[in-house]
A and B are shown apart, each in its own frame.
Chain A
């Protein structure tokens, strides 16, 4: 069963009837034909520039190819295109082609397993799937499982598209009820949720926030070093920069860019005003630099970056401080952005008018107009308990134009409180000066390098194995990825050799989900700690995962199976000694 969640009526903009939007034209109109729109760091190492003329030629031709390969489509219905594709020349041409067709696109990570692709196909139901040649087999295997969705696969080949004679199909406008894109994210149930964004309001928000937080204007360059399947890869690597007339840098070598000499080489060659990347990449870069090293050790002294930004997960103060010391940007505050796929664009981030913060983990001061509060400031304790909202969960009172159009989920996901406030499902606090600090998720979602991983996704896969009786996935902190997954299991029968089972579990998780879901540690207990009602006491396991020893100071008073768990504890401690 699928639930459709929409913002409350009071949050919805009054639909203006009969307005059609030529998004393709609007995105490109600030550029002259010879202007560069994208600079792409290719896998080969070269930098390829795409000007407006080339972008139009490639996207128009590819749009024509897409149309030819779609079967049995009513011409009045919006085309739906799924791209299983990483940030690349191909991904930007695909997105432009989608806009040419007035289509609804959905970009997914290339790393997804066939099972995960199948789940997304089942929800999105595309008319066509686009991918690069090397992924064709994996997608065919996902399609073979999904007998409901009849769709074709189109392999994108830039050289082939370039050599086609210019196609002459007209641009298709976006109509009132059309959507712009869908992105999938994990929820607490374990099944992916489809976050659907509309056209006008989302684009308005993308443009405003790109200019306001990153200072992008005509011809300025922004290097958003994230994957195309992320919301930042849409808002701040594509839509926002184009609408502002800025040049977007697209990176086809995602992790290699974190090697200092490689990053220095490209930043020096490309000279972006802004470098915006994931916290994981910053940590990785930091791990490979020596004390007091600067970007200028790897680039020329005359290059000065204007601003740096971070995204995906909370930024630790020491990483932020290191980043300022390393990059030496002109602006001394990091654009440490806070937002989610559901919010479409940045909700809060340090602004130019904010001074260099005392603590770089701060995400800035929320604008008053947004109305961002802790739940306990707006809702009484009885109501908080009734709605199962943590007192320090962050809520938004007022509409902003980036909010999703709808969410398709297999659970009535609680996006709004009964009183109509938007729930961020993150905890945080505002200090005395009004600066916001994010604590982490309030639900059972782990953030591994910016990827939202549902604990129940992993647990349900384990519980489907005959060998496993109980499963508990929790997070522990990790110096590179922010958080890591630690998995605790009880077997359904006596096991002598643990290693083969661990290998099997890891293979199953990777095959059904993705490599991002792989636990960094799997440990076995005879029994997991439970309450009287039989619920696994996750806080005990979280503490164990973090510290790797049993904390005697924790409160075990509500532990129902104390005796058995303590026996398990003995076994655990003994196995550690061995």
Chain B
């Protein structure tokens, strides 16, 4: 099982992407947060975040896996899986 420390690179990248998309100064995320916990992370911004992650990492997430994301931690683990 991945320890949180091992996912810090992905979490930092996600924070950078989310800060850019939501046009805020550095946003702090944690693994147990969900999208509604982050001001401005609505369904439209969610799509742009996913798209930007794919572009940055040169990957394509399978649709069924994107649909099953509940927490920031789920997204970070998904990023790690496909990197």
Stretch from B10-18, B24-32, B42-50, B72-80 at the A interface: B42-50
In the complex, which of the residues B42, B47, B67 contacts A259, with contact meaning CB atoms closer than 8 Å? B47
B51 at the interface (CB under 8 A from A): yes
- A480 close to B63 (CB less than 8 A): no
Complex-state Cα separation, A288 to B53, whole angstroms: 12
A319 at the interface (CB under 8 A from B): no
Question: Who on chain B is nearest to A510 by CB?
Answer: B36
- A258 close to B47 (CB less than 8 A): yes
Counting chain A CB atoms within 10 Å of each CB, the highest count among B47, B48, B62, B66 belongs to B47
A135 at the interface (CB under 8 A from B): no
Question: Who on chain A is nearest to B43 by CB?
Answer: A255
In the complex, which of the residues B40, B60, B66 contacts A256, with contact meaning CB atoms closer than 8 Å? B66
A54 at the interface (CB under 8 A from B): no
A481 at the interface (CB under 8 A from B): yes
A154 at the interface (CB under 8 A from B): no
Complex-state Cα separation, A154 to B43, whole angstroms: 28
- A280 close to B66 (CB less than 8 A): no
Complex-state Cα separation, A327 to B70, whole angstroms: 33
Query: Which residues of chain B are within 8 angstroms of A45 by Cβ–Cβ distance?
Result: 62-64, 67
Query: Which residues of chain A are within 8 angstroms of B63 by Cβ–Cβ distance?
Result: 44-45, 253, 256, 262
User: For residues 254 through 289 of chain A, which have their beta carbon under 8 Å from a beta carbon of chain B?
Assistant: 254-256, 258-259, 261-262, 280, 284, 287-288
What's the minimum C-beta distance from A93 to chain B, rounded to whole angstroms?
Answer: 21
- B64 close to A44 (CB less than 8 A): yes
A150 at the interface (CB under 8 A from B): no
Question: Who on chain B is nearest to A506 by CB?
Answer: B39
A145 at the interface (CB under 8 A from B): no
Interface size in chain B (residues, C-beta < 8 A): 16
Question: Who on chain A is nearest to B40 by CB?
Answer: A520
Q: Per-position contact with B for A509-531: 1 when CB-CB < 8 Å, else 0?
A: 00000010010100000000000
User: For residues 434 through 482 of chain A, which have their beta carbon under 8 Å from a beta carbon of chain B?
Assistant: 449, 480-481
A43 at the interface (CB under 8 A from B): yes
User: For residues 43 through 83 of chain A, which have their beta carbon under 8 Å from a beta carbon of chain B?
Assistant: 43-45
Query: Which residues of chain A are within 8 angstroms of B48 by Cβ–Cβ distance?
Result: 284, 287-288
Complex-state Cα separation, A520 to B43, whole angstroms: 14
What's the minimum C-beta distance from B14 to chain A, rounded to whole angstroms?
Answer: 17
Question: Who on chain A is nearest to B68 by CB?
Answer: A43
- A284 close to B44 (CB less than 8 A): yes
Q: Per-position contact with B for A481-492: 1 when CB-CB < 8 Å, else 0?
A: 100000000000
Counting chain B CB atoms within 10 Å of each CB, the highest count among A259, A449, A481, A518 belongs to A259
- A480 close to B64 (CB less than 8 A): no
**Can you name 21 A-B pairs with beta carbons within 8 Å?**
A44-B63, A44-B64, A44-B67, A45-B62, A45-B64, A45-B67, A254-B43, A255-B43, A255-B44, A256-B50, A259-B50, A259-B54, A261-B60, A262-B63, A284-B47, A288-B47, A288-B51, A449-B44, A481-B44, A518-B42, A520-B40
- A: residues with CB less than 8 A from B are 43-45, 253-256, 258-259, 261-262, 280, 284, 287-288, 449, 480-481, 515, 518, 520
What are the 9 A-B residue pairs with the smallest beta carbon separation, nearest first? A45-B63, A44-B64, A255-B47, A288-B51, A45-B64, A255-B43, A43-B67, A259-B51, A480-B44
